[in-house]
């Protein structure tokens, strides 16, 4: 089994086991639109991980980053980075 599939299956199982211990689970998705580029450093950092992982080609990553830079310069940039807040009772 490929390592990625093992980790996906392993963490999915662990997550489900932990989830089964709780009741009254609520999920909130919180985000604030970024139209000024404040999330761009985070995106570029994540792109570094994508390069290391090699699932996405360097050319594809470069296109994405240059598109974001161009959008920021043209004032058409919009990025949403959702934060998931999950609460429950034991």
Residue 87, pLDDT score: 87
Count how many domains the chain has.
1
Do 82 and 64 form a contact (C-beta atoms < 8 A)?
no
Phi, psi (5° rounding) for residue 72?
A: -65, -45
Q: Which residues form the domain of 39?
A: 3-89
- pLDDT tier, 7 (very low <50, low <70, confident <90, very high otherwise): low
pLDDT at 20: 78
What does the chain come to in residues?
90
Q: Cβ distance 86 to 27 under 8 Å?
A: yes
Could you read off the pLDDT of 9-60 as tens digits, one per residue? 666 666 677 777 888 888 899 999 999 999 999 999 999 999 998 888 999 9
Residue 4 clears pLDDT 60, i.e. is over it: no
Q: How many helices (H) and strands (E) does the chain have?
A: 3, 2
């Amino acid at each position: 089994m490929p390592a990625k599939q093992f980790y996906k299956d392993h963490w999915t199982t662990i997550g489900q086991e932990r989830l089964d211990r709780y009741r009254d689970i609520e999920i909130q998705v919180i985000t604030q639109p970024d139209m000024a580029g404040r999330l761009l450093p985070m995106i570029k950092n994540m792109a570094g991980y994508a390069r290391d992982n090699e699932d996405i080609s360097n050319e594809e990553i470069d296109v994405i980053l240059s598109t974001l830079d161009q959008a920021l310069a043209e004032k058409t940039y919009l990025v949403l980075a959702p934060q998931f807040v999950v609460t429950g009772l034991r």
